[in-house]
């Protein structure tokens, strides 16, 4: 029996059962002791160089059998952001990078051990030489503390490679902007009300201080009554028969007549007398002289 890998003979087994290997990477043994009809062929530390046809040939009428060997490689996987602390209801984004895989790895995500729907993340891959790199981005809304895990695998890998981080969610602070807006609105409204009340109060106070026509006329009558006792400039004291010319105005006159009567004009002008509602006329007879005093109240 001979074994050929990629058209290179790597091991022979003669009829006597002594195996000959041309490299320590390849070995063979019988499936069970004493049974030479079954041989187990092993490739150690397999690499992608060994990918291709593996042929077992039996001399004689048995011919040969061929199997196709596919070698896959697993690389590394890492969540770039690491552990995060965010505010509640904030949108968070995690990026998982798988490097040096062959063929293209399959990326999946879990939260607290539960698989995440593939619609919530997006994965892209690109060749890097003879291997592939993949990037997967997961986006979701932070609600509570969560363990996030990214897993990468290929078909022959018995256990996926993974990377996990911890997301800490803190309660969001109160919305001070809304509170301030409400306070300012109520404060402005209260100030407006106070301003209107102040204007109404000032208007009423000012209107109350303004006297009406009847009050003003009454006040003037009372004032004029109080000054009636003041001396009259046209009064002639006793013992004087005449008024010095220097004390008379241009309109004054004094004419002695047969009865020695001296006539004096009104002290207050005739115009004022015409507008007066009340007049008082006093006549004094002393020593044959008539003295006339005219007082007009406006």
pLDDT of residue 187: 87
- pLDDT category at 280 given cuts 50, 70, 90 is very low
pLDDT of residue 67: 94
pLDDT of residue 222: 73
Q: What is the mean pLDDT of residues 2-22?
A: 88
* Residue closest to 94 by CA, chosen among 153, 136, 143, 144: 136
67 compared with 37, residue with greater pLDDT: 67
Please confirm whether the linkage preceding 42 is cis (ω < 30° from 0).
no
% of the chain surpassing 70 pLDDT: 71
Q: What is the mean pLDDT of residues 39-68?
A: 90
13 compared with 262, residue with greater pLDDT: 13
Task: Assess whether pLDDT exceeds 90 at residue 114.
Answer: yes
Q: Where are the beta strands (DSSP E) in 159-238?
A: 161-170
> Assign residue 8 a region: left if phi > 0, alpha if psi is -120 to 50, beta otherwise?
beta
pLDDT of residue 10: 94
Are the CB atoms for 227 and 221 separated by under 8 Å?
no
pLDDT-wise least confident of 45-49, 119-123, 273-277:
273-277
pLDDT-wise least confident of 29-33, 97-101, 174-178, 245-249:
245-249
82 compared with 213, residue with greater pLDDT: 82
Cα separation, 2 vs 14, in Å, equals 9
> 187-230: per-residue pLDDT in tens?
888 888 988 998 888 878 777 666 565 666 776 777 776 665 55
Task: Assess whether pLDDT exceeds 90 at residue 271.
Answer: no
Q: What is the mean pLDDT of the chain?
A: 78
Angle at 73 between CA 69 and CA 74, to 5 degrees: 145
> 234 vs 237, 281, 282, CA distance in Å?
10, 13, 12
Distance of alpha carbon 232 from the chain centroid: 85
pLDDT of residue 18: 79
> 132-163: per-residue pLDDT in tens?
999 999 999 999 999 999 999 999 999 999 99
Write the DSSP assignment of 134-168 as a string of letters: EEEEEEEE--S-EEEEEEEE-TT-SS-EEEEEEEE
Residue 10, judged by CB atoms within 10 A of its CB (0-12, 13-18, 19+), counts as buried
3-state secondary structure of 209: helix
Residue 45 DSSP symbol: S
pLDDT of residue 160: 94
Task: Assess whether pLDDT exceeds 60 at residue 13.
Answer: yes
Q: What is the mean pLDDT of residues 104-121?
A: 94
Domains of the chain (ranges; CATH) run 2-69 (no CATH), 76-170 (2.60.40.10), 234-297 (no CATH)
Spell out the residues 6+ positions from residue 72 whose beta carbon is closer than 8 angstroms to its own.
Answer: 102, 103, 154, 155, 156, 157
* Residue closest to 99 by CA, chosen among 134, 73, 130, 124: 134
Q: What is the mean pLDDT of residues 224-252?
A: 51
pLDDT of residue 100: 94
pLDDT of residue 275: 42
pLDDT of residue 230: 52
Are the CB atoms for 283 and 255 separated by under 8 Å?
no
């Amino acid at each position: 029996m001979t074994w050929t890998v990629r058209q290179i003979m790597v091991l022979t087994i003669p009829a006597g059962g002594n195996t000959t290997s041309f490299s320590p990477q390849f070995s063979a043994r019988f499936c069970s002791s004493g049974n030479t009809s079954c041989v187990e062929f092993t490739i150690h530390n397999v690499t992608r160089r060994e990918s291709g046809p593996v042929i077992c040939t039996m001399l004689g009428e048995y011919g040969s059998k061929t199997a196709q060997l596919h070698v896959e490689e697993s690389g590394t996987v890492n969540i770039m952001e690491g552990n995060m602390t965010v505010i509640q209801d904030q949108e968070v984004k995690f990026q998982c990078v798988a490097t040096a895989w062959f063929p293209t790895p399959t990326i999946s995500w879990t939260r607290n051990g539960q698989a995440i729907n593939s619609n919530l993340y997006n994965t892209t891959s690109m060749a890097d030489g003879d291997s592939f790199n993949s990037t997967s981005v997961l986006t979701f809304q932070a609600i509570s503390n969560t363990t996030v895990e990214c897993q990468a695998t290929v078909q022959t890998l018995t256990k996926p490679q993974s990377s996990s981080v911890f997301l800490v969610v803190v309660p969001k602070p109160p919305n001070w902007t809304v509170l301030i807006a409400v306070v300012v609105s109520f404060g402005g409204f209260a100030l407006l009300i106070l301003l209107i009340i102040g204007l109404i109060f000032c208007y009423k106070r000012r209107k109350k201080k303004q006297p009406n026509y009847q009050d003003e006329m009454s006040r003037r009558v009372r004032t004029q009554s109080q000054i009636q006792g003041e001396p009259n400039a046209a009064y002639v004291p006793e013992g004087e028969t005449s008024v010095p010319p220097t004390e008379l105005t241009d309109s004054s006159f004094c004419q002695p007549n047969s009865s020695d009567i001296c006539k004096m004009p009104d002290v207050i002008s005739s115009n004022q007398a015409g507008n007066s509602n009340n007049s008082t006329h006093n006549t004094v007879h002393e020593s044959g002289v008539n003295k006339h005093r005219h007082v007009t109240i406006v």
